Structure 1
Amino acid sequence: MQQASRRDFVIRLASVAAVAGAGTALTGCLGDGGDSVPPQFSFGVASGDPLVDRVMLWTHAQFPDSSVDVALTWEVASDAAFTAMVSSGSAVAAAATGHTVKADAGGLAPGREYFYRFRFGVHSSPVGRTRTLPAAGASQVSMAVMSCSNFPAGFFHAYSEVTRSGAQFALHLGDYIYEYPTGVFTGLNAPAERLQANPATELITLSDYRRRYAQYRSDPDSKVMHAALPLIAIWDDHELANNSWVAGAQEHDPSTEGAFNARRDAAIQAWHEWLPVRSPNPANLRSINRSFDFGGLLALHLLETRLLARDRPLEVQELVNPATAAAARATLASATRTMMGREQLQWLQGRMAASRATWEVLGQPVLMARMTFPVSVLQHLNPANTSPAAVAAGQQAVTEYLTALATQAQAPASLTAAQRALLDPVQNPQLGYNLDAWDGYPVEREMLLGMARQLNKRLVVLAGDTHNAWASRLTLMDGTVVGNEFATQSISSPGLEEYLIGLTPVQTQQIFRGVVGDLRFADTGRRGFLLMEFTPQHARGTWHFVSSVKTRTYTLDTSQSLSVSA
């Protein structure tokens, strides 16, 4: 579709989304469904998990003030007017699934754009647009990479911009919702009209999670984005609870919040209900790792890194506190410590070995690149330490370390004893600042990267989670470069600019660039999304930054990009 027609379609989607509730709430219309009051399609439509011949379709349909099931038909056509029908079928928006409904629409052709809708008699949902994966021989693929969409923290401007970016597909890498109660983790100067969470409490039950998804999906920018592009998604932790792992979560208290597994299962069910995903293993809804072949150009492998096997994330203070450091560092270096689990790692090895794609792409939530700091600096990187004295001490520690690095590079003979101590890996070891990411699971990361190198793959890793934009080289412990990582900034969650008090985003970026050797790009002050474009020759990431998520008006900056060659 040409850009002009793409914009026209987005405008039509926005108009439909605005009037959908009113248009479907009319009474006195006896449709083919046999009810005088048609169901409401209050949350629009979505599509996802495209294959070469099929795609998942999604909607939510419910009669006003009623909990009865809603029998629907779905239609796929090659034109927006639905004069050239391609596929159709029936589906039920059942009370058992919170009145969400999904259909696996088959009989489609590779690399084609389609239009779809759900119907109840003469009444129709909004119209969505989707696309199948390309057939073999694809020469170009583009996808919008997103993460960390936090409703009360700001407007979803980035979702709207995704529809204008030229992306063919959308990829959400987790933290699609946040589980916090009203007033928690909204950031500074959040829009007052978005502060009230629904429900107001922290999410625990299935009803809680369903209501929170409904709030997020009521957002007009979210509706437009979901209707405009097929979505591929993976979860991170906030779809359940902060820093979750296989047997618990940092902020889950069994004594007041009940059994963790009950909360986990409720969160997982709601995710499967509200996302247009194809469940690869209905017998185990935690198993959402899956692969997509984009016409031999790239193979996208989604990894589950939370609930299948992950060991408890360590805390930085465990590594720097003399009372706990030895035990924590031994745990960190353990050969059995895992994020993915051996079964999933073997699955990935099999997929990558069988793939003949130009690019092997891992879609997963957290940073894989090394982002380590010396202990002398790390002990000051505590967002809770906001006093002037603490900020000054942190800045001094950074300055001393960067000065030692510069002296070593330019005049090593003039290093002082104190500087030599700062650069001594035994006296001042390098440790990860974000141990919830792959820096907290270094042995398994080495196994994964070593596997990619052994298979001679062109590796690109996509990540989210940190709310900031990054690009890094992926290296083995011996420094061998194995691939590249592109990390997207958040849709709306606050970044380091709101937590490293006393430092401007430019200063923060300079510190990271100075200390982290593998880092190639950083922006720690702006929200948005990442547009990835793949060709046989290169993989290019362009960060789309919105100037503000706190106000309804904003500007867009797309000047930052980075390309790697095949």
Structure 2
Amino acid sequence: MRFDHGVASGDPLSDRVMLWTRVTPEADGDVPVTLTVATDQAMLQPVAVYMSTATEDGDYCVKIDADGLQPDHWYYYQFSVGGERSPVGRTRTFPASGSFIDRARFAVVSCANYPYGFFSVYRAVAEHADLDFVLHLGDYLYEYGPGEYGDFPERDPLPPQEMVTLADYRQRHAQYKTDDDLQALHQQFPMIAVWDDHESTDNSYRDGAENHQPLTEGDWEARKAVSQQAYFEWLPIRPREPGNYSVIYRQFQYGDLIDLTMLDTRLEGRDEQLTVPLDPARNSEDRHLISADQMDFLLDSLSQSNAQWRFIGQQVMFGQLNIAELPSLTEDQAQLRSNLSAINMDQWDGYAADRLKILNHIDDNNIDNVVVLTGDIHTSWASEIYRNPSSLLGDLFDKPLAAEFVTPAVTSPGFPDGAAELAGILIPVVNPHIRYVEAKSRGFILVDVTRARAQAEFYYAQSIESFDLRGQIDNSKTKVVSVKSGDSRLIEDGPVSRPRTLRTAFNYPPLPLNAVTVNEVLS
């Protein structure tokens, strides 16, 4: 019996957290599994023991909602089957709702395509030992077959074809979970995750996908359902009810400092994307990116929040992107316009009425300190959010309604050389609400939140191609952007935040498996 896919934790609340592993069985049949939670890394001070069963129907994944825990505590956990034990993982509960909290630190990641290179960014996040949690905003994996989207040596995707069936999705999740750097990330921190399109297939929406051919790949609803099932099996996510794999939007409270609302802007309520850039139909009130139920959930969470900060974690770029005024005189400029046109209608720009409804709600209810966190487009952005940022004599002289930070990719490619550099120069000129664009480097955002400000620190990996440079940061590229409480205007190039290693330090690399069995500890 082995634990080839490591351990993971996620969806932390003040009294519980989801704990995950996958048993690699020696033969078919149910496998009894024991989970021990302790207050020390050596697992000598257990506080709870849980029993579960790994079954073939669940692909031998084990998920336990470890409850009865204390708020704002770090815990260690370990699974065992007989005498075999998993690695020891570390997790934490969130502070109790309403309790005074002065600081939070977390990382934001997205877009990790296995065949494009090493998960150096995950390694870099794992080595920030003082983070409270990790936010994954989608494209945890990709659906393509070998050579279709990335061809890094010895990282061909499994199965060796596009994933369509439940077995395909499970095998691809299993391959990703064998990556040492992803395992290190999961082993260190609880993760709050949502899917984007590639967990099912490219440019998916409620009723279909650009990369789904019904004649050869079957019924879309069936494919969507098995992709969601595999995602819930292999990620430490708490389902709303047993067997419900379709609803992933939810909310988390980090004391009185942060209310975090996670959205599903991909599969739950999205109408099909428009195909023509800046199609006037994008303004139709009949076009939706999220369902009416999810919209009500979001608006209620914003207006009912008593936290200092209201964060929205979601998949696609929220802020407006004006591409009509970008020049296209040179080959690089034409490439830039082509790249932007290809992504624009997949974003909130393609569903403008839904965005306006949210912005009107924020303005009408005098809701402050709203920060949108976004993934999807493999590039870095920092924007002030207005109703109509193209009106130089209007909104831009008012206080922004929110701020948005878009995280770069873990490995997936951004704009090509030339077009990437132009993007950083030209886009803010014709989009003055967009204050920062970095269009090709892989990395992550470290978000440091105090009662006075929310700060996004963009960190970039030195390389995703060198095994020896995994986890190394190119400090020359680091960018700091922040917003003050009560004013969502962006402030650039302040100092990076101070780490909190004394509070949440964790031995890294993790200690080897201890030689003490669960029964010996409890006896």
Which interval holds the TM-score relative to the shorter structure? 0.7 to 0.9
Structure 1, residues 406-463: CA drift from partner, whole Å, max 9, x if none? xxxxxxxxxxxxxxxxxxxxxxxx9895110111111100111221222322100000
Letter of the 1:203 partner, please give it. Answer: M
1:390 CA displacement: 7.1
Q: Secondary structure of the residue that 1:59 maps to in structure 2?
A: strand
- Separation in 1, partners of 2:154, 2:335: 37
| 1:376 to 1:134, Cα distance in 2 relative to 1, 3 A | closer
Letter of the 2:405 partner, please give it. Answer: F
Letter of the 1:547 partner, please give it. Answer: Q
Q: Which residue of 1 aligns with 2:286?
A: 336
Q: Which residue of 2 aligns with 1:350?
A: 300
Q: Which residue of 2 aligns with 1:184?
A: 148
- Separation in 1, partners of 2:330, 2:220: 36
Aligned residue among 415, 433, 443 for 1:496: 415
- Separation in 1, partners of 2:177, 2:10: 15
Q: Which residue of 1 aligns with 2:361?
A: 451
Name the structure where helix makes up a greater proportion of residues: 1
Q: Secondary structure of the residue that 1:267 maps to in structure 2?
A: helix
Is the Cα contact below 8 Å between 1:145 and 1:531 reproduced in 2?
A: yes
Q: Secondary structure of the residue that 2:215 maps to in structure 1?
A: helix
Q: Which residue of 1 aligns with 2:106?
A: 143
| 1:192 to 1:456, Cα distance in 2 relative to 1, 3 A | same
1:375 CA displacement: 6.2
1:70 aligns with 2:31: yes
Letter of the 1:93 partner, please give it. Answer: A
| 1:114 to 1:395, Cα distance in 2 relative to 1, 3 A | closer
Is the Cα contact below 8 Å between 1:367 and 1:438 reproduced in 2?
A: yes
Q: Which residue of 1 aligns with 2:77?
A: 116
Q: Which residue of 1 aligns with 2:121?
A: 158
Is the Cα contact below 8 Å between 1:281 and 1:287 reproduced in 2?
A: no
Q: Which residue of 2 aligns with 1:57?
A: 19
- Separation in 2, partners of 1:269, 1:431: 33
Q: Which residue of 2 aligns with 1:223?
A: 183
Q: Secondary structure of the residue that 1:556 maps to in structure 2?
A: coil
- Separation in 2, partners of 1:346, 1:496: 36
Is the Cα contact below 8 Å between 2:336 and 2:420 reproduced in 1?
A: no
Q: Which residue of 2 aligns with 1:13?
A: none
| 1:563 to 1:279, Cα distance in 2 relative to 1, 3 A | same
Q: Which residue of 2 aligns with 1:22?
A: none
Q: Which residue of 2 aligns with 1:201?
A: 161
1:515 CA displacement: 2.2
- Separation in 2, partners of 1:61, 1:396: 46
Q: Secondary structure of the residue that 2:355 maps to in structure 1?
A: helix
1:337 CA displacement: 0.8
Aligned residue among 412, 416, 421 for 1:506: 421
- Separation in 2, partners of 1:287, 1:123: 35
Is the Cα contact below 8 Å between 1:289 and 1:302 reproduced in 2?
A: yes
Is the Cα contact below 8 Å between 2:333 and 2:422 reproduced in 1?
A: no
- Separation in 2, partners of 1:540, 1:98: 40
1:484 aligns with 2:395: no
**CA RMSD, Structure 1 to Structure 2 (Å):** 2.0
Aligned residue among 275, 294, 310 for 2:254: 294
Q: Which residue of 1 aligns with 2:334?
A: 394
Structure 1, residues 293-339: CA drift from partner, whole Å, max 9, x if none? 00010100000111111000112xx247xxxxxxx42x212112100
- Separation in 2, partners of 1:431, 1:43: 39
1:45 aligns with 2:12: no
1:121 CA displacement: 2.1
Q: Secondary structure of the residue that 2:360 maps to in structure 1?
A: helix
1:254 CA displacement: 0.5
Is the Cα contact below 8 Å between 1:149 and 1:492 reproduced in 2?
A: yes
Q: Which residue of 2 aligns with 1:439?
A: 349
Structure 1, residues 84-107: CA drift from partner, whole Å, max 9, x if none? 111111011110011101000011
- Separation in 2, partners of 1:112, 1:332: 46
Q: Which residue of 2 aligns with 1:133?
A: 94
Letter of the 1:462 partner, please give it. Answer: L
Letter of the 2:239 partner, please give it. Answer: S
| 1:562 to 1:131, Cα distance in 2 relative to 1, 3 A | same
**Higher gyration radius (CA):** 1
1:467 aligns with 2:378: yes
Is the Cα contact below 8 Å between 2:33 and 2:52 reproduced in 1?
A: yes
Q: Which runs of 5+ in 2 are unaligned?
A: 389-393, 486-523
1:284 CA displacement: 3.8
Is the Cα contact below 8 Å between 1:373 and 1:432 reproduced in 2?
A: no
Matched length:
468
Q: Secondary structure of the residue that 1:199 maps to in structure 2?
A: coil
- Separation in 2, partners of 1:177, 1:88: 32
1:62 CA displacement: 2.4
Q: Which residue of 1 aligns with 2:459?
A: 544
- Separation in 2, partners of 1:340, 1:545: 32
1:504 CA displacement: 5.4
1:510 CA displacement: 0.5
- Separation in 1, partners of 2:124, 2:75: 21
Moved more, 431-440 or 537-546: 431-440
Structure 1, residues 27-53: CA drift from partner, whole Å, max 9, x if none? xxxxxxxxxxxx110001000000001
Letter of the 1:245 partner, please give it. Answer: Y
Q: Secondary structure of the residue that 2:474 maps to in structure 1?
A: strand
| 1:397 to 1:461, Cα distance in 2 relative to 1, 3 A | closer
1:496 CA displacement: 0.9
Letter of the 1:512 partner, please give it. Answer: I
Q: Secondary structure of the residue that 1:171 maps to in structure 2?
A: strand
1:553 aligns with 2:468: yes
Structure 1, residues 439-489: CA drift from partner, whole Å, max 9, x if none? 111110011122122232210000010001110011112625201001100
Is the Cα contact below 8 Å between 1:240 and 1:263 reproduced in 2?
A: yes
| 1:56 to 1:521, Cα distance in 2 relative to 1, 3 A | same
1:174 aligns with 2:109: no
1:281 CA displacement: 4.0
Letter of the 1:177 partner, please give it. Answer: L
Structure 1, residues 144-190: CA drift from partner, whole Å, max 9, x if none? 1000011001110111111122321001000000001110121xxx5
- Separation in 2, partners of 1:108, 1:506: 49
1:516 CA displacement: 1.8
1:531 CA displacement: 0.6
1:69 CA displacement: 1.8
Aligned residue among 440, 462, 470 for 1:525: 440
- Separation in 2, partners of 1:368, 1:271: 25
Letter of the 1:182 partner, please give it. Answer: P
Percent same amino acid at aligned positions?
37
Is the Cα contact below 8 Å between 2:423 and 2:437 reproduced in 1?
A: no
- Separation in 1, partners of 2:173, 2:203: 20
Letter of the 2:101 partner, please give it. Answer: A
Is the Cα contact below 8 Å between 2:109 and 2:444 reproduced in 1?
A: yes
TM-score, reference length from structure 1: 0.80
- Separation in 1, partners of 2:162, 2:334: 34
Q: Secondary structure of the residue that 1:507 maps to in structure 2?
A: helix
